[in-house]
Structure 1
Amino acid sequence: MLLTNYNSGGVWSVRSILVRRRATDNTIRILPTQRDTHRNHMCLLVIYMVTIVSQVMTDDPRFAEPIPNVTVALGRDANLPCVVENLGSYKVAWIHIDRQMILTIHRHVISRVPRFSVSHDNAKTWLLHVSSVQQEDRGYYMCQVNTNPMISQVGYLQVVVPPNIIDSDSTQSTVAIRENQNITLTCRADGFPTPKIMWRREDGQGITVERRKKVHVYDGELLNLTRISRTEMGAYLCIATNGVPPSVSKRIIVDVEFSPMIWVPNQLVGAPAGTDVAIDCHTEAYPRAISYWVYDNVMILPTKKYGTEITENSYRTHMKLIVRNIQAGDFGNYRCVSKNSLGETEGSIRLYEIPMPSTPPRLTDKKDGIQSTKNMLSEDMLPATSSSGTNIAGSGSNGNQNTMISSSGSVDSGSNSLDTQIDIYPNQIDESNSGTSTTIRRYSKVVIMFTSTIVCFVSSIN
């Protein structure tokens, strides 16, 4: 008897079977023949051999290289490669482990974040693209192949952020403090890696730390200035850097407030009538002071008679008053006044009259083609003596530059001539200024001795 059968391999086959009837129960049993059994065994052997050969000739999917760790700046684009060999019909998927988010499967984007995409180079590289990288994109990414069991590998995406100074947590751009008080400057910044904060002065001067030492660069978010002085006034730079360009800085101006102070270089100034004279004062004050001159209790304004000059540098001010064509009514006390919101101060300068210098006679002759000049001294040019001393004024040959003698005893001479000239005048200083008179007598003796030496030297040459 012949029967047809559809086997597991999908092939229709015809085989013969033996039908036997049992006499006892009239049942029919279908028994395979010996030939059919042998044929079945051969088919199973062939199938097993084909499977073994197929497995030997075809490798499972494997990763050709690891996923590199990628570092990218905030806002830039990043690519993560996954190289798979022998992929066959299997699929590649990308997963963001930190957010537990499936990003892509094969060529399809699963995530709803539009900044993620995937591409395949038709060979073995699958690229995950992340555009305009944000800080939340930082973390581990898995490339997975759906084999059984599943295979995967992981790479890390590092997102670096340039430093940014947080104004709300930092000292404001301008701060004022009274002198000799304490102040703390604060500068905070964020970014990744964590920024480093350092301080510098804009003018290049050192920063006083704990009143003991000065440094040009100070590290730390907090800068403590103890018992701050006016010399520490100015702009301080807070600079934040973390190796990711660009570095950023903030400029903080520290104003140190104090009441005015005045320094007068020459408190006593002498000048002949009919000449011009300049007197000056130096002031220090902050907030910036109002500075002016006063004579005979009246504020001096710029006119043809008076000229005023004011030069300011930070908290320092230089005041200069020029009195032109001095007359008898111009001699007296002049006051320089400086005032601000914290106080007021003034300095006093006395302007007194001295005689007009005269030009001594000079004898000029020629010898051996060399011209020499001798300064002659007469009997009436000897120094006059008095109980209060002698006042000396030295001038050049033009007679326009005078020597000013202050109460400190300093003498400034404007003569640049090679001729040595001495003019001795009766003293114009009060009896109360005996210290100044003593100093003048000493300078008189020195000048007379120097002049005598010059005369002897010239005579020896002739």
Structure 2
Amino acid sequence: MGINGQQNNGMSDWPYFEPNVPRNVTTAIGQTAFLHCRVYQRSDKEVSWMRKRDMHILSAGISTYTSDLRFQVIHPDKSENWTLQIKSPQLRDSGIYECQVSTEPKMSLNYTLNVVESRARIQGPSDIYLKTGSLLVLTCVMSQGPHDLGTVAWYRDNQAVVTSPRNENDIDAEPRITVETEWSDALTSRLRITYAKTSDSGNYSCVPTVAQRSSVNVHIINGEHPAAMQHGNTAVGAPTPGAYLLLVLILGQFR
């Protein structure tokens, strides 16, 4: 067995790495990362982890040699697995980590950790103006980071959006408020509100489990004049000239 973990003839009892494990790992900020190192026929040899950018030994056996408590080695009893766990990883944790076995010469295997800042994005403008009775569709897309973004929640003014149950007396009727989440090239979540009411106005946020939230302001207008525009139960101030022009153009479509 050479130092890269490949088996040599005549040395069948020499330690060797399991090659079929992910060695290029991507995770989002705050999402626990795992680097899996599997060593067979280890005998009395010690497995350790090192961070390449500063040559810092993070662990030897199951003992950690860093004051950063986010780093921990997971090694079930009598297992070949020596997993480096990194809790709440940050961008600065990106880089190469090395799994080592204390043979002579030393064996090692490199792992690349990519920590990315995953963000949600609600498509469209940051301020949305609609007339009462309209259909409101908010589409939130998360395309950065790993494909393990957990779940997505929607909030209006920091209160969870409650979807409408189906009408048992009319099974063909669609619920007024629905949320649909699906995978394509990205994680997409759609909030649909039919027959929008002035009470639906507010600040809407798409909040993924492990990505930064995205927010938009929704204004449901009762009537055709800006003075009638409501924000929740509180009247908002007069719109800016640009917003006023946008409002006039939108309302003109309903005449």
TM-score, length-scaled by structure 1: 0.27
Taking CA–CA contacts closer than 8 Å with sequence separation of 6 or more, which of the two structures ends up with the larger relative contact order? 2
